[in-house]
Amino acid sequence: MIEQRRKRAREIKAYGTIRKAVEAGSLEQFQNISLSEAVVLGLINQGVRTFVGIFGHGMTDVGEVLRIYEEEEAVKTVSVRNEVEASHVASMLRWKYGETPAVFTSIGPGALQAVAGSLVAQSNGLGVYYLMGDETSHSEGPNMQQIPKREQELFLKLLSTFGPAYSLHTPEAVFTALKRGDAAVNGGVKHSPFYMLLPMNIQPKVMEHCNLLEFPEKSAESKVVSVDSDLYRAAVETICSSSRITVKAGGGAAKVPSDVWEEFLELADAVYVHGPQVPGLYPYSKERNMGVGGSKGSICGNYAMDECDLVITVGTRGVCQWDSSGTAFKKAKKIININCDYNDLGQYNNSVRIQGDAEEVLLKLIELLKNAENKATDPEWLKECKEKRVEWESYKQLRYDHPVLVDEKRGKSILTEPAAIKKAVDFADAHGCVKIFDAGDVQANGFQIVTDEKPGQTITDTGSSYMGFAVSSMLAFALQGGKDYPVAFTGDGSFMMNPQILIDAVEYGLKGMIVLFDNRRMGAITSLQYAQYDVGFKTDDTVAVDYVQMAESVKGVKGFYGGESVEELEKALEKAYAYDGLSLIHVPVYFGREEFGGLGSFGNWNVGNWCERVQKLKHEIGF
């Protein structure tokens, strides 16, 4: 059986798909094959080559299959130290490199950790497979680590709430599971994780006379484009009758080329605002780019949203911080909503809803706008927005020009977070590094600071805002052979959620940098508490940590102290970048109420004691 398994591994590696191997006569069409191997073989048949996770008693048989397939170089199996970390690595492989990976876990707590991490993939539309052990199908008694409740398939019920899930209660169901998985992970208009449960006693069961040609291959990504000419006509008429137009881009527009944005914005005489997930999609240097908008936004981005008479939303879910909890478009008379997912199209009332791929829809509108007549114009609109952008740049520069403040907790002058992040961002950009931002105030200040000229240079999980995502996901860059150099921007809170990267980076030869901004608290939440209740509560700590020593306790990781001035930080960045491996820079940063200590917020948010005011405003606007 092992030799037959080795042969199947060799042939799938050689031919790429099962069908090609069978048609070439290298594999017999009907063979005896276990469920565990069928799952691995079926995923390889869909292009999955990287399996990331942790083995346990609930996944030993699948592990044995992966051992043999890796020995034959058909797959790469990556064992890490935390299932959340495995999820983040897989999400980055799909996000940055378009690779479809699989996360494997044991039964119980490990599986639940992986599911928690899968929120990143769910929120950002990333297709990732999840293989999870499950309780035995004979129900001989409570299985260790199952949900301790005497009901059937509780993990299936739970995972089905998160997204598409399937329990392989019968080996021959693997073909249906793989078809449904392919639809979720590869083929749909919005990709998502697919959770596959493998009962421990079913994994080794052998399917006799299994038809290898029954395994589905990877689907081509589908593009939905509305052909309703009345909708396009209504959209163009709305654009032509509006004179203060703002286009707001979300993650669903991430593949639209900059020249398409350029032409559309010129023809519509509109300004551009983006969500925090997609900086660089349209170059920041363009005069119509007003930067990020939303609850944390920018002066110019929020002005463009608040003062427009028409907003054109492209590829967005309408997340609470994206549109200031529904209050961002105060003066808009109408909305044009472009999205592949019809549920997301229904986000706003009084809207022209065009379902379809963002680029394809914009191209159709461009052709119609070229022949449109009597376009309403307001020369003051672009002028006003440009003035607000100058104001925003001056506002930021004033903080960069005052980079040091006395920190009350440390009792000395240290760098402010905006100044420190700005220096690290400029360094990363100058060296062509990929910037990854962790959740919290580092992330919020980060997307206000970045000024990318092309997409893919900044990656930030603003969908689920997962603490520890940045540092964990760095491992994906090593698995891709070091094509890019990652710089993870993280806070002390986020880093301590997932410090396993210190070990796994050495194990897999990661070359990259962690810049750890340490304000000894959850700064984003303390700031929110100050803004809402004028007092912080249980969001800081009294424990000093030597992160340089922590980093260097792992042989192969190099730690640096970032200093207390911009000049010292720059020297540390240079030394860290020159290191041939993972480096970590510890940067103590100021926290307090001084004006220059942060970049501020410019939008509404339906949280805490703001709720009554924000909800009232939302209902008054009526979108």
CA distances in angstroms from 221 to 183, 187, 190, listed in the order given: 9, 5, 10
Q: What is the pLDDT of residues 358-392, one digit of tens each?
A: 999 999 999 999 999 888 999 999 999 999 999 99
Q: Say if 374 falls within a structural domain.
A: yes
Tell me how many domains the chain contains: 3
Q: Say if 403 falls within a structural domain.
A: no
Q: How far apart are CA 454 and CA 265, in angstroms?
A: 17
Distance of CA 357 to the CA centre of its chain: 19
142 pLDDT tier (thresholds 50, 70, 90) = confident
* Non-local CB neighbours of 24 within 8 Å, separated by 6+ positions: 15
pLDDT at 473: 98
Element containing residue 558 per DSSP (H, E): strand 558-561
pLDDT at 151: 86
Which amino acid, 237?
A: E
Same domain, yes or no: 31 and 143: yes
pLDDT at 451: 97
Same domain, yes or no: 238 and 90: no
Phi-psi category of residue 324: left, alpha or beta, with phi > 0 → left and psi -120 to 50 → alpha: left
pLDDT at 1: 81
- Reference 106, options 78, 137, 83; nearest CA is 83
SS3 state at 536: coil
* Non-local CB neighbours of 427 within 8 Å, separated by 6+ positions: 433, 570, 573, 574, 577
* Non-local CB neighbours of 153 within 8 Å, separated by 6+ positions: 167, 169, 197
pLDDT at 54: 97
- Reference 288, options 393, 371, 381; nearest CA is 381
pLDDT at 416: 97
Q: Say if 8 falls within a structural domain.
A: yes
Q: Say if 77 falls within a structural domain.
A: yes
Q: What is the pLDDT of residues 473-506, one digit of tens each?
A: 999 999 999 999 999 999 999 999 999 999 999 9
Could you tell me if 596 and 604 are in contact, meaning their C-beta atoms sit under 8 angstroms apart? no
Q: What is the pLDDT of residues 67-88, one digit of tens each?
A: 999 999 999 999 999 999 999 9
Q: Say if 621 falls within a structural domain.
A: no
Of 190, 214, 238, at which residue does a domain stop? 214
Same domain, yes or no: 132 and 83: yes
Q: Say if 614 falls within a structural domain.
A: no
Same domain, yes or no: 428 and 294: no
Rounded to the nearest 5°, which phi and psi values hold at 617? Answer: -65, -40
SS3 state at 273: strand
- Reference 604, options 593, 591, 586, 616; nearest CA is 616
pLDDT: is 224 or 572 the higher one?
572
Q: Say if 599 falls within a structural domain.
A: no
User: Would you state the torsion angle of the CA atoms of residues 155, 156, 160, 166, taken in this order, to the nearest 10 degrees?
Assistant: 140
Could you tell me if 504 and 474 are in contact, meaning their C-beta atoms sit under 8 angstroms apart? no
Phi-psi category of residue 149: left, alpha or beta, with phi > 0 → left and psi -120 to 50 → alpha: beta
As a whole number, mean pLDDT of residues 80-98 equals: 97
CA distances in angstroms from 294 to 248, 287, 300, 602, listed in the order given: 10, 20, 11, 7
Q: What is the pLDDT of residues 14-26, one digit of tens each?
A: 999 999 999 999 9
As a whole number, mean pLDDT of residues 325-329 equals: 94
Same domain, yes or no: 148 and 119: yes
Q: Can you give the CATH number for the domain in which 479 is found? A: 3.40.50.970
pLDDT at 189: 78
* Non-local CB neighbours of 542 within 8 Å, separated by 6+ positions: none
Same domain, yes or no: 381 and 424: no
Could you tell me if 83 and 114 are in contact, meaning their C-beta atoms sit under 8 angstroms apart? yes
Q: Can you give the CATH number for the domain in which 322 is found? A: 3.40.50.1220
As a whole number, mean pLDDT of residues 503-519 equals: 98
Same domain, yes or no: 458 and 414: yes
Lowest mean pLDDT among 77-81, 151-155, 411-415: 151-155
Q: How far apart are CA 505 and CA 491, in angstroms?
A: 19
Q: What is the pLDDT of residues 166-194, one digit of tens each?
A: 999 999 999 999 999 999 999 877 899 99
Same domain, yes or no: 199 and 286: no
Same domain, yes or no: 157 and 264: no
Q: What is the pLDDT of residues 419-468, one digit of tens each?
A: 999 999 999 999 999 999 999 999 999 999 999 999 999 999 988 999 99
- Reference 589, options 467, 397, 425, 420; nearest CA is 420
Same domain, yes or no: 442 and 382: no
Supply the range of the domain harboring residue 38.
2-214
Q: Say if 352 falls within a structural domain.
A: yes
45 pLDDT tier (thresholds 50, 70, 90) = very high
Alpha helices in 163-257 (DSSP H): 174-182, 229-240
The chain-wide mean pLDDT, for the chain, equals 95
Same domain, yes or no: 127 and 258: no
Same domain, yes or no: 158 and 247: no
402 pLDDT tier (thresholds 50, 70, 90) = very high
